[in-house]
Amino acid sequence: MPELPEVETTARGLRERLLGRTIVSVGSLDWPRMAPNATLDTLATTAVGRTIESIARRGKYVIVGLSGEAYLVLHRKMSGNLVLRTTDLPVAAHTHLTVAFDDGWRLDFVDPRKFGRIYLFLGRDALDIFLDERLGPEPLEIERTELDRLLERRRGRLKSLLLDQTFLAGIGNLYADEILWEARLHPQRSVESLSARERGRLHEAIQHVLSTAIERRGTSLSDYVDAEGEPGTNQNYLQVYGRAGLPCPREECGNTIVRTVVAQRGTWVCPTCQPIAGRRRLVRTTR
């Protein structure tokens, strides 16, 4: 569920509340598989007494930096949320980790589907190795020329590529569809077939779609809420995702959006704005 804009919004909320706070207890790890490289004991022993020095996002991971070079790394997968509550409030259903702080606030990792993961790393090197072997560059920090270089080294379908976290970190199914609609590119288009102009549109669409979604504090379709427990508003501005049968929002278009499956994921496209063959080919076959 949470993709880059949702994780970024959450990280900002956590940063505001937690920087400088000291951890006083860690508990409720009722589903041990959520912490593949630590036990509740290790987490508690390591974290309690340490202070939050940094909160960062990398791809879809939130990285909580503790004093003494320890890092808690959280991934929410499909249904997870990281929510701040005061310790007088009861722990909600499906909460699988709680971290309590010295000022009466508590960070709860809530995840009905239990796909989420919590990792503990000691030392900057261990953290960097973990992240670098999973993640490509940050899409919002990439220049046009750098995107071109990355694309040159890849092949296959555009949508599969956008979903590949080692290509760019943080784009998921929803934003992949929104980006491809914005760029007027069909998800099945092969990377190799892109013209320079199309690569430019792709770069622009990545920047625009992700940054406006961050401004709107993310997309809340069913589960996602930010660190304060509040939904985002980007669900009110989706152009294609989940909108089968509705008209394409491009004024000059207005044709019907269809749902297909690409890379084993539900995929929404405007067949008119996003022709499966490039523009040149379409012109030829329609005359």
Catalytic residues: 2-3, 60, 265
Q: What DSSP letter does each residue of the chain carry, written as one string?
A: ---HHHHHHHHHHHHHHHTT-BEEEEE----GGG-TT--HHHHHHHHTT-BEEEEEEETTEEEEEETTTEEEEEE-TTT-EEEEEETTSPPPTTEEEEEEETTSEEEEEE-TT---EEEEEESHHHHHHHHHTT----GGG--HHHHHHHHHT--SBHHHHHH-TTTSSS--HHHHHHHHHHTT--TT-BGGG--HHHHHHHHHHHHHHHHHHHHTT---SSS---TTS---SGGGG-SSTT-TTSBPS-TTT-PBPEEEEETTEEEEE-TTTS-SS-HHHHHHHH-
CB-nearer residue toward DNA: 110 or 270: 110
> Cβ of residue 39: shortest distance to DNA, in angstroms?
16
Q: Does 220 bind DNA (CB under 7 A)?
A: yes
Q: Which of 10, 219, 239, 274 binds DNA (CB under 7 A)?
A: 219
Q: Which of residues 255-274 bind DNA (CB under 7 A)?
A: 263-266
Query: Site mask, DNA, residues 66-105, x = CB under 7 A?
Result: ---------x-xxx-------------xx-----------
With CB under 7 A as the contact rule, which of the stretches 10-18, 83-91, 142-150, 165-173 interacts with DNA?
A: 165-173
CB-nearer residue toward DNA: 60 or 243: 60
Q: Does 165 bind DNA (CB under 7 A)?
A: yes
How far, rounded to the nearest angstrom, does the alpha carbon of residue 186 sit from its chain's CA centroid? 21
# residues near DNA by CB under 7 A: 38
Q: Which of 15, 17, 21, 114 binds DNA (CB under 7 A)?
A: 114
> Cβ of residue 255: shortest distance to DNA, in angstroms?
21
With CB under 7 A as the contact rule, which of the stretches 17-25, 39-47, 66-74, 171-179 interacts with DNA?
A: 171-179
Q: Which of residues 25-44 bind DNA (CB under 7 A)?
A: 33
> Cβ of residue 231: shortest distance to DNA, in angstroms?
9
Find, among 274, 98, 73, 286, the residue nearest to 183 by Cα: 274
Q: Does 115 bind DNA (CB under 7 A)?
A: yes
Q: Does 119 bind DNA (CB under 7 A)?
A: no
Q: Which of 45, 113, 129, 255 binds DNA (CB under 7 A)?
A: 113
User: Any idea how long the chain is?
Assistant: 287
Q: Are 190 and 158 in contact (CB under 8 A)?
A: yes
How far, rounded to the nearest angstrom, does the alpha carbon of residue 260 sit from its chain's CA centroid? 22
Q: Does 216 bind DNA (CB under 7 A)?
A: no
Q: Does 226 bind DNA (CB under 7 A)?
A: no
CB-nearer residue toward DNA: 55 or 238: 238
Find, among 202, 191, 118, 194, the residue nearest to 161 by Cα: 191
CB-nearer residue toward DNA: 45 or 155: 155
Q: Give the residues lining the site for DNA (CB under 7 A).
A: 1-3, 6, 33, 59-60, 75, 77-79, 93-94, 112-115, 134, 155-157, 160, 163, 165, 172-174, 218-224, 263-266
